Amino acid sequence: MGTQTASASLEDMASLDKELAHKCQQGDVDAYAQLVHRHRKMVYRVAYAILGDAEDAEDVVQEAFVRGYQAISRYDARYAFADWIRRITVNCALTRLRKQRRLGNGTSLSALVTGEAADADPAGHAATNDLQDEVRQALAALPPRQRAAITLFALADMDLAGVAEAMGCAVGTVKSHLHRARQKLAELLADYVEED
């Protein structure tokens, strides 16, 4: 019964999103402000998962919602608004990564491996920090689309279909990105992982 309630709640949310998007398409700016409020946390999580930098993620959040507003006339209500804005966010984040690479700015991805580390036993804190640094460096070394796939799938807990939708590619392409990312991470972290 809990699953049915959750499913109904998600359907209600998606229905309200579509209604708000329709109002926005008719010129209701307040409706878009409500959509931003409803999806801001999700958009930030996606941007942060890909970029790993709070400031860059905030910039991408702003850019994604501006682009969404500019393109709202092209939003198709047959699809969930959340999926649509997530895809815009992924594209904005990947564009930022490509620009950073061209400019030679590395992306730290520091948030991807934090969490339990803050609560770690003080004696093991240094080792945890070392592992976090290794993982951050390994993730930063991945090509942008592989990094996006692995962060959305493994760290943002999206399923393959969701990652494919967010990245605008086929599930098979996501599987390929994930396979290559895992191989590269295994190579880069082999020495660290072998220590036990």
Please tell me what DSSP assigns to residue 152. Answer: I
Q: pLDDT per residue over 132-158, tens digit each?
A: 677 778 888 888 888 888 888 876 667
3-state secondary structure of 98: helix
Whether the per-residue pLDDT at 121 is higher than 70: the answer is no
Upper half-sphere CA count for residue 16 (Cβ side, 13 Å)? 13
More confident residue, 120 or 98: 98
Which of 164, 168, 16 is closest to 92 using CA atoms?
A: 168
Mean pLDDT of the chain: 78
pLDDT for residue 51: 84
Whether the per-residue pLDDT at 181 is higher than 80: the answer is yes
- CA dihedral (152, 112, 41, 10) in degrees, to 10, reads 40
pLDDT for residue 101: 63
Whether the per-residue pLDDT at 127 is higher than 90: the answer is no
More confident residue, 117 or 155: 155
Burial category of 53 from C-beta neighbours within 10 Å (exposed 0-12, middle 13-18, buried 19 and up) = buried
Whether the per-residue pLDDT at 1 is higher than 90: the answer is no
Q: How far apart are CA 151 and CA 142, in angstroms?
A: 11
The structural domains of the chain, ordered by start, are 1-107 (1.10.1740.10), 108-196 (1.10.10.10)
Contact assessment for residue 113 and residue 136, using Cβ atoms and an 8 Å cutoff:
yes
Please tell me what DSSP assigns to residue 189. Answer: T
